[in-house]
Amino acid sequence: MRIDTLNVVAVLCVAFVTIGGQSFERKVAQLLHGEADDLKCFVESKKDLTCFWEEELERKNSHDRYTFMYSYEKEKSRTCDISSLSLLASNRTVFLCKLPQVLFFTVLDVQVLHDGRMLYNRSLNVENVLFLDPPRNLTVVSSGKEGPLNVSWLPPHLKYMDDSMIYEVRYAVEGSHMGKVEEIKASTKLILRGLQPGTRYKVWVRVKPDGVAYDGYWSAWTEPVFGATPPSDMDPLTVLLVLFIALILFILSVTVILSRHKFLLKKVWPDIPTPEHKFPGLLTVCEGDFKEWMRQNNGNMWGRSVHVYTEELPSPLEVLSEISLASHATSQREERITLEEEEEKMESEGTDSGITGSWREPSHAHWFMEQLRALQENPQSLSQSMLLESPDTYVTLNQNSQRARAEDDSQVDDICDESLPLQTLFSNTGTSSLSASRSDLGSLQQSSGSGRLSSQSSFEYSNHTWSPNRPGYTYMAVADSGVSMDYSPMSLSRIEDLGKRVIYTNEYKNEIFGHKCPISGQC
Amino acid sequence: MQKFSDLVLVLMVFVWLRGDPVSPLRPICDLRILDHFVREARDSEVIMRGCRGGCGVMNSYFVPLTSVDFAVWEQIDAQGQAEEVQTGLSLLVQALSAARNTVSSSPLISTLDNNISNIHSLSQILQSLHLEQGRSTALSDDSASISIQTQEVSTLPELLQVQSSFLRGKVRLLFSAAPVCQKRNR
């Protein structure tokens, strides 16, 4: 029992000394950095004064070579035993002396000698170098609903000095580096006001003599203590106001939605577009059968004209032809033929909108027909009348057609640069195919509703279906399979053979270009 | 007979009055008064440092010792401390008065007058603390009866430094440790 008590006491002593030692070392370290004097002195309590100085790095000396002398006013000098202390934190060494006798309120002279030479000299009053321990038992308590924090602490253990101390309280929001400091004199309580509600705060305190009777250095900060402010109560007026505004906004939004619900519905959930407005009856009557719908709407023209290959559908092709008139007679005949053709077309086409044009400009057609007639009447002039002049510019075909023509028909001359399928048609040797260098489907829209026969009206006619009453018409079958336009004349023959085969020529004019190529073929 | 009783009554009243010539003072425990005096003593030192003429002559002044060894001081009883303080205050007043007569600088004169007045007030305050029971509290200039140790200073700056140290030290310790004030505060 007694041994246990002794053990406990011993442990406590060691702990106390250790803690005290740590505190002392911290004070030495703090003064080492903070104070300007080379020889620093401080008093921890009323009964010990410590003076220390840093070991000079140039001379690694032992403390034997130093002498510490001190003398109080009107007294003789005395020496003090020097010891050394290694600061672990900063890896420095200091020599220190703890004076055996401490007298306050009188002048103290201290000297440090190194090898007999004066190194440091200082006069001080001991009551002016107090270095106190931090305050004890710091507590932070929240007081009620209003939010201020009550901070209280105990002063360090120094008798009769409570009323000559000042304190500094530092507080900051937890996690923040911005803190506020408040100074308080001769009191160990403080009420922190103006804090944010519902926030956790960190509070520190430190102490210093007030400087009237005693003076010294600021102590170290205490360990931080946390305190939380209560969350703020909602002001009933504020709550009511917020609810009222929310209600008004809700009523407004409901009103807007109800008044424009159709519009909003259309925007949010749009209808699937149908072509019904453009194609009346397509979906309702014909049930999506476009051919049927076309048949119903367009009548004979389309029904007779459109013969679709099973494998591919005809697609619009704008082909501009340019044929120079070698002889008027030929052209005359051609024109006549063309005119008849056009008239027939006009009947059958009817009022198709957007697909075909109508022959409303007989002058052009008349001229073209004349050319065709001339061609028919005068086969020899074929070679010369390879170019059917038309007032418009034309699609350019590739060079194959031109070469083909050149090979077999030396009679071909005055060919316009923009050679056309008609040239091929009139050549003796047939070219298998011509590739249009360009197909301008854009003319679909341009020529719709116009008076000219547009390129859309490229029809494929089989030999048999066409009326045999129309000999001499060059027939072109045009098929659009993908990118390239591939049209091949169904028959290529001399004019003599025209009667056996059905040749049909269409004049394709581009409405945009208005100039007329001369008959000579030079555009 | 009745006249005699009346006379006795009147005499008793007089004796009672004479016996306690100073009315019982309420204890003045507020240390701010003392701090005020300490600051004014420090101001005198500052003025003294700035004095450029007529700042007194060298003289021999006997002043109390100001050093305090807490280990020793706390061993002395309250009465002993009070006596030491009172004697020291008395010495200071004498020295300050003597020094004031040699000074011609008006700011220094006024601050010295202030200090002298303050020390008188301190003496009164000490009496209010009832620390010296049954002893004469009046300031005495009889140096022979002084039991405390003294020191000798020769210049006015030293004198003012002694005054400052004495007030901050022993006088204040006595005040803060006065039993009367301890009972009131706690």
pLDDT digits (tens, 9 = 90+) for A412-444: 444 444 444 444 444 444 444 444 444 444 444
Q: pLDDT tens-digit profile of A258-313?
A: 998 888 888 888 888 877 778 877 778 778 788 888 888 776 454 444 454 556 66
Q: How many CB atoms lie within 10 A of CB A45?
A: 16
Residue A122, SS3 per DSSP: strand
- Over chain A, what is the mean pLDDT? 70
Interface check for B72 against chain A (CB to CB < 8 A): the answer is no
Q: Which of A106, A107, A161, A185 to mutate to test the interface with B (most CBs of B within 10 A)?
A: A106
Interface check for B142 against chain A (CB to CB < 8 A): the answer is no
Interface check for B182 against chain A (CB to CB < 8 A): the answer is no
C-alpha distance from A72 to closest chain B C-alpha (Å): 9
Are B170 and A213 within 8 A, CB to CB? no
Are A163 and B67 within 8 A, CB to CB? no
Nearest beta carbon to residue A160 from set B65, B170, B173? B173
**Hey, what are B112's tokens?**
């010295």
**Hey, what are A145's tokens?**
């609903």
Strand partners, A72: A108
**Hey, what are A336's tokens?**
């006549």
Residue A246 has pLDDT above 50, yes or no: yes
Residue A153 has pLDDT above 80, yes or no: yes
Are B25 and B128 spatial neighbours (Cβ–Cβ below 8 Å)? Answer: yes
Nearest beta carbon to residue B176 from set A103, A105, A160? A160
Residue A518 has pLDDT above 60, yes or no: no
Q: Which of B31, B39, B65, B168 to mutate to test the interface with A (most CBs of A within 10 A)?
A: B168
Pairwise CA distance, residues A357 & A367, whole Å:
18
Q: In angstroms, what CA-CA distances link A100 with A105, A120, B69?
A: 17, 20, 11
Pairwise CA distance, residues B21 & B15, whole Å:
10
Residue A38 has pLDDT above 70, yes or no: yes
Per CB-CB distance under 8 Å, the chain B contacts of A101 are 69
Are A160 and B177 within 8 A, CB to CB? yes
What is the CATH number for B96?
Answer: 1.20.1250.10
Residues near A2 by beta carbon (within 8 Å), at least 6 away in sequence: none
- Strands (DSSP E) contained in A134-199 are 136-142, 149-154, 165-173, 179-185, 189-192
Interface check for B137 against chain A (CB to CB < 8 A): the answer is no
Alpha carbons within 13 angstroms on the beta-carbon side of residue A345 total: 26
Are B35 and A213 within 8 A, CB to CB? yes
pLDDT band with cut points at 50, 70 and 90 for residue A100: confident
Are A105 and B31 within 8 A, CB to CB? no
C-alpha distance from A125 to closest chain B C-alpha (Å): 9
Output the pLDDT for position B90. 94
pTM: 0.54
* H helix count then E strand count, chain B: 8, 2
Q: Which of B36, B40, B68, B72 to mutate to test the interface with A (most CBs of A within 10 A)?
A: B68
Are B67 and A105 within 8 A, CB to CB? yes
For A501-520, b/e burial (b = at least 16 CB within 10 A) is: bbbbbbbbbbbeeeeebebe
Quick one: angle between helices B31-49 and B106-128, nearest 10?
160
Which residue of chain A is at minimal alpha-carbon distance from B73? A103
Are A105 and B177 within 8 A, CB to CB? no
ipTM of the predicted assembly exceeds 0.85? no
Output the pLDDT for position A463. 46
Are A149 and A192 spatial neighbours (Cβ–Cβ below 8 Å)? Answer: yes
Nearest beta carbon to residue A72 from set B39, B67, B177? B67
Interface check for B90 against chain A (CB to CB < 8 A): the answer is no
Which residue of chain B is at minimal alpha-carbon distance from A159? B177
C-alpha distance from A21 to closest chain B C-alpha (Å): 23
Place of tokens 């530092």: A170
Pairwise CA distance, residues A413 & A303, whole Å:
40
Per CB-CB distance under 8 Å, the chain B contacts of A127 are 168-169
Which residue of chain A is at minimal alpha-carbon distance from B173? A160
Residues A253, A254, A258: CA angle, nearest 5 degrees: 120
Residues near A323 by beta carbon (within 8 Å), at least 6 away in sequence: A371, A375, A385, A386, A387, A388, A389, A390, A420, A422, A423
* CB-count exposure of residue A306 (10 Å: 0-12, 13-18, 19+): middle
Are A49 and A99 spatial neighbours (Cβ–Cβ below 8 Å)? Answer: yes
Section A28-51 average pLDDT:
85
Residue A521 vs residue A369, higher pLDDT: A369
Interface check for B98 against chain A (CB to CB < 8 A): the answer is no
Q: In angstroms, what CA-CA distances link A194 with A182, A226, A227, A461, B76?
A: 13, 17, 14, 97, 50
Are B168 and A212 within 8 A, CB to CB? yes
Which residue of chain A is at minimal alpha-carbon distance from B177? A160
Are A476 and A504 spatial neighbours (Cβ–Cβ below 8 Å)? Answer: yes
Are B165 and A125 within 8 A, CB to CB? yes
Pairwise CA distance, residues B57 & B155, whole Å:
7
Identity of the residue numbered A494: R
Are B67 and A73 within 8 A, CB to CB? yes
Nearest to A334 by CA among A388, A380, A384: A388
Pairwise CA distance, residues B163 & A518, whole Å:
134
Section A52-64 average pLDDT:
72
Are B68 and A160 within 8 A, CB to CB? no
Alpha helices (H) along B1-155: 2-19, 31-49, 70-73, 78-100, 106-128
Are A212 and B68 within 8 A, CB to CB? no
Nearest to A219 by CA among A108, A131, A327: A131
Output the pLDDT for position B164. 94
Are A116 and A193 spatial neighbours (Cβ–Cβ below 8 Å)? Answer: no
Are A174 and A195 spatial neighbours (Cβ–Cβ below 8 Å)? Answer: no
What is the residue range of B49's domain? 2-184
Pairwise CA distance, residues A326 & A292, whole Å:
45
Which residue of chain B is at minimal alpha-carbon distance from A127? B169
Residue A385 vs residue A246, higher pLDDT: A246
Are A106 and B177 within 8 A, CB to CB? no
Nearest to A38 by CA among A55, A58, A21: A55
Pairwise CA distance, residues A351 & B9, whole Å:
151
- Phi, then psi, of A442 in degrees rounded to 5: -65, -20
Note down pLDDT in tens along chain B; length 186 residues: 777 778 777 777 766 666 555 556 677 888 889 999 999 999 999 999 999 888 888 889 999 999 998 888 889 888 889 999 999 999 999 999 999 999 999 999 999 999 999 999 999 888 888 766 544 444 444 444 446 788 899 999 999 999 999 999 999 999 888 888 776 554
Please give the tally of structural domains in chain B. 1
Output the pLDDT for position B79. 87
